[in-house]
Structure 1
Amino acid sequence: MSSISMRKTTLAAAGLAVAGTLVLTGCKDGNEEAVPAAPSAPAAQSSAPGGYATPPAGAPSSPAAGGYDGASGAPAAGGAGAVAKSGQAFKIGEAATVPFTSGSKSGQLALTVTSIEPGNPADLASLNVGDKVKGQTPFYIHYTAKNTGTTDLSFASVGHMKGVLDGGAESGVLLIAGKFDKCPNESLPSGFTTGKTQASCAVALAPTGAKVTGAEYWGDPYNNLNNPPQKGITWK
């Protein structure tokens, strides 16, 4: 991953959750680190329609194989379906076509949030996160990623999926390094070429009594802060 991409990922991660929740990394070794979440606007505001009035930073001015047209939002040759616009909302079960970049790999994916399943706080016991998730209930966001571009995305990492609480605010996020059977999340497999699909999962945290009722994808370019700023796409 380039240093520019790493900086963009770091900046985007700072807005994962609203104040009062935690972004956690669990490595199952008892050395998990809790990071206070930065303030963030309610995710409900992300559902306003919008488009690419100007190309996102780093986007091509014309379509490239497996990519998208940053000016119009149209898919490139070899892609399928119109690319989701900034802030666009989908129903759970609907596919959203998105431009995709991970390190040196770029292409196009169709992302579909298939279900949001409530978990039990006891599910997290094996992660050794202890009091760091006290008062939080895990919810499992199940989604699929289908390669609708023309490039091989082997071993790329999708991620960038978070929850939306029933009140419209963003949920907390639990980032896990290692295996977690309740919510498996692995890199795309070898040979992830056009038409291949992989199921994945993201862990969202809700305060006791609240529910995660929606999901938001905030990968590049939907985390772009240029003028006009781009917003994530949502499912509910």
Structure 2
Amino acid sequence: MSTSITSKAVRNMIGLATVGMFALTACGPDDTTTTTTTATTPPATTAATTGGSQSTAPKPSSPATGGAAKSSAPTSTGGGGAMATAGQTFKIGETAQLPFSSGDTKGTIALTVTAIEAGTPADLVPLKLGDQASGKIPYYIRYTVKNVGTTDLSFTTVDHMTGLLPDGTQGQDVMLIGTFDKCKNDSLPSGFTNGQTAQGCALVLSPSSSTKITGAQYWGDPFTLDKGLVWK
């Protein structure tokens, strides 16, 4: 069974994925069709690929070399630091303090992209993405989240993290439901109050082995896809 959904803003439509189903989107800037395809996947893992649309995020200054982007110890701005502003750029390892919302829960977090790591095509085999992953290389955007506000953020989710190619356009996002050991991105744990920290990961595909994911962008509310926070 397949269902087509026509849209001019493919990147802003996130398909709903359930166990045993993944949505495949392989759209460039001029494409207008998202296709949802039913397939057999391992019971614990469901993947959905989206993205590939044009982004106006700032261009990274230079491509990353080797398998991972440069990483350093996070620079904390927690607690009383200034809030990050739309379009602001950080180095890998630097921390941005920002307002955060998930459903009806609102608070303040300190977000740090700690590394951008290249994987291998074999990493994607358990996800059974088929031809949609052919020739593509997985990249893992690793980040930390710290609660620096007064709200209990238990069981909320920090997502809206994507990868950027050298020309500033997006890679192809992969939404995971279930367990994928190479890139765990669970909800924030119980008791995630002020001072608590957690690790997160976003899985993004580059179009080929010769094109690297060299930056990361967070565009969750109150930011937008074209004016998010950028790490490179």
Q: Which amino acid aligns with 1:19?
A: G
- C-alpha separation in 1, matches of 2:127 and 2:189: 25
Match of 1:214 in 2: 215
Secondary structure of the residue aligned to 1:124 is helix
Tell me: CA distance 1:138–1:46, structure 2 relative to 1, closer, same or farther (3 Å). closer
| Mapping 1:34-49, distance limit 5 Å | 37=51, 39-44=53-58
Tell me: CA distance 1:31–1:159, structure 2 relative to 1, closer, same or farther (3 Å). closer
The answer to whether the 8 A contact 1:87-1:231 is kept is yes
Secondary structure of the residue aligned to 1:177 is strand
In structure 1, runs of 5+ residues without a counterpart are 1-9, 48-74, 225-229
TM-score w.r.t. structure 2 length?
0.72
The answer to whether the 8 A contact 1:17-1:170 is kept is no
The answer to whether the 8 A contact 2:146-2:198 is kept is yes
- C-alpha separation in 2, matches of 1:153 and 1:169: 31
The answer to whether the 8 A contact 1:110-1:147 is kept is yes
The answer to whether the 8 A contact 1:17-1:171 is kept is no
Tell me: CA distance 1:118–1:89, structure 2 relative to 1, closer, same or farther (3 Å). same
Tell me: CA distance 1:149–1:191, structure 2 relative to 1, closer, same or farther (3 Å). same
Match of 1:19 in 2: 28
Which ranges of 4 or more aligned residues in structure 1 deviate by more than 3 Å?
10-14, 20-35
Instruction: Give the RMSD, CA atoms, in angstroms.
Output: 3.3
The answer to whether the 8 A contact 1:79-1:150 is kept is no
Match of 2:161 in 1: 161
Secondary structure of the residue aligned to 1:153 is coil
Q: CA deviation at 1:190?
A: 0.1
Q: Which amino acid aligns with 2:231?
A: W
Match of 1:198 in 2: 198
Tell me: CA distance 1:33–1:95, structure 2 relative to 1, closer, same or farther (3 Å). closer
- C-alpha separation in 2, matches of 1:217 and 1:87: 10
Tell me: CA distance 1:142–1:210, structure 2 relative to 1, closer, same or farther (3 Å). same
Match of 1:58 in 2: none
Tell me: CA distance 1:216–1:34, structure 2 relative to 1, closer, same or farther (3 Å). closer
- C-alpha separation in 2, matches of 1:156 and 1:185: 11
- C-alpha separation in 1, matches of 2:172 and 2:11: 16
- C-alpha separation in 1, matches of 2:196 and 2:148: 8
Higher strand share: 2
The answer to whether the 8 A contact 1:18-1:171 is kept is no
The answer to whether the 8 A contact 1:18-1:169 is kept is no
Render the CA deviation track for 1:106-151: whole Å, top value 9, x for unaligned: 1000000000100001101011111121121000000000000001
Confirm whether residue 81 of structure 1 aligns to residue 95 of structure 2.
no
Q: CA deviation at 1:167?
A: 2.4
Match of 1:124 in 2: 124
The answer to whether the 8 A contact 1:146-1:195 is kept is yes
- C-alpha separation in 1, matches of 2:169 and 2:129: 23
| Mapping 1:3-152, distance limit 5 Å | 12-13=12-13, 19=28, 28=42, 37=51, 39-44=53-58, 79-152=79-152
Tell me: CA distance 1:130–1:217, structure 2 relative to 1, closer, same or farther (3 Å). same
- C-alpha separation in 2, matches of 1:136 and 1:84: 33
Confirm whether residue 232 of structure 1 aligns to residue 208 of structure 2.
no
Higher helix share: 1
Identity of aligned residues (%): 47
Tell me: CA distance 1:160–1:32, structure 2 relative to 1, closer, same or farther (3 Å). closer
- C-alpha separation in 1, matches of 2:49 and 2:173: 11
Q: CA deviation at 1:23?
A: 10
